[in-house]
Amino acid sequence: MEIIFIALKDSLALTLKLLCIILPLSISYEFLKHRQSSIEKKNFAVFGISGKGFIPLVTGIIIGLTYGAGVIIYSLRTTNTTKKEAFLILLFLSICHAIIEDTLIFVVIGANGFILIGFRFALAITLTYLLYRSRLFNAQFNGFPRKDGRIEQ
Amino acid sequence: MLVQNTLLHMNTFYSTVKRGFLNGILITYKMVKVIVPCYIAIEFIKHLGLIEVISAFFKPCMSIFGLPGESALGLMAGYFINLYAAIAVITPLQLSSKDMTTIALMLGIAHSLPIETGVTRQTGVNAWLMLAARVVFSLFAGIVINLVWKLFS
């Protein structure tokens, strides 16, 4: 019986610590939503991801897939991003998402935050770039180039 | 006119903060529902002495990541339920900073797989491929960080 009480107390203490992280974050998400339209207008492209694709990307990196799902699905569907771009975005996000929240809640229980962020960003960027460059991946969407240089659909 | 404008701005400011605050409370409520039962369950398992059995069982496969056997529980909780469950499971185990960072990195890349695969499917990208990629890279990251950490310490 005693164990239950101790566990209850400890788990509530842990929840309280996490609450201190989640509250400021959830409030800043709401502010971020207002800023989104200004990011949309910037025009740039990094490894196959265009300015349009940047909103779902940034949303995913900061907020995460579960809570950012609405924005990600909506913007991928409405701004006719190509299938190839969507795949690259999702690949990047699958490795590197909810970067603030995930990192902070693990830092609370004793992990090293710099290693976490650094490693995930490095891995995500490397993989996305390699896939963007790979011929096999591009062939999936464009068809294999033939001997005479024309592209087979 | 100026006063009216300022009032309008204040209004949106407060409603934004309020929305963020309520969201934060909602997330925390969802979190408590997972954390408390998981925490109590783990304390029970520890009390009954089952942790040694589980630890010995998972030791061979967890040693690839340089983790103690019982951390497999936290990894499973994170993969199948969500990060909060994983945190509730690994906090009572009192792991070292290195072990915590390794688990955090692995779970950061792949977590709440049932829910997030659902999200991925809605974006129109091949969800199974993405699921496989996440699990593979999660395990890969665990192996790499173990080796790198050993190299630098």
Query: What is the C-alpha to C-alpha distance for residues B94 and A77, in angstroms, rounded to an integer?
Result: 44
Residues A54 and A41: beta-carbon distance below 8 Å:
no
What is the reported pLDDT for A153?
41
Residues B70 and B55: beta-carbon distance below 8 Å:
yes
What is the reported pLDDT for B1?
60
Distance from CA of A42 to the nearest CA of B (A): 23
Residue at token pair 């990094």: A46
Whether the predicted pLDDT of B53 surpasses 50: yes
For the residues A131-150, what does the mean pLDDT come to? 64
Whole-Å CA distances, B94 to B16, B30, B72, B74, B117 = 39, 24, 14, 12, 31
Q: Do B20 and A31 touch (CB under 8 A)?
A: yes
Best probe of the A interface among B109, B111, B128, by most A CBs < 10 A, is: B109
Whether the predicted pLDDT of B70 surpasses 90: no
- Triad A99, B111, B121: Cα angle to 5°: 95
For the residues A40-57, what does the mean pLDDT come to? 65
What is the reported pLDDT for A48?
65
Query: What is the C-alpha to C-alpha distance for residues A90 and A28, in angstroms, rounded to an integer?
Result: 23
Return the higher-pLDDT residue of A93 and B143: B143
Q: Do B109 and A91 touch (CB under 8 A)?
A: no
Count of C-beta atoms within a 10 Å radius of residue A135: 10
Count of C-beta atoms within a 10 Å radius of residue A121: 15
Distance from CA of B57 to the nearest CA of A (A): 25
* Tokens of residue B38, six digits: 């998981």
Provide the pLDDT confidence category of residue B138 given band limits of 50, 70 and 90. very high
Provide the pLDDT confidence category of residue A43 given band limits of 50, 70 and 90. low
A contact residues 63-122, partner B, Cβ 8 Å cutoff: 65-67, 69, 72-73, 76-77, 83, 86-87, 90-91, 94-95, 98, 102-103, 105-106, 109-112, 115-116, 119-120
State the amino acid at position A141 in one-letter form: F
ipTM greater than cut 0.95:
no
Q: Do B88 and A11 touch (CB under 8 A)?
A: yes
Phi, psi of B126 (to 5 degrees): -60, 105
Provide the pLDDT confidence category of residue B103 given band limits of 50, 70 and 90. very high
Q: Which of A115, A123, A117, A103 is nearest to B149 (CA)?
A: A115
Report helix, strand and coil shares of chain A as percent, to nearest 5. 75, 5, 20
What is the reported pLDDT for A79?
72
Mean pLDDT of chain B: 85
Mean pLDDT of chain A: 76
Residue at token pair 């990629």: B133
- Ranges of beta strands (E only) in chain B are none
Provide the pLDDT confidence category of residue A141 given band limits of 50, 70 and 90. low
What is the reported pLDDT for B39?
85
State the amino acid at position A52 in one-letter form: K
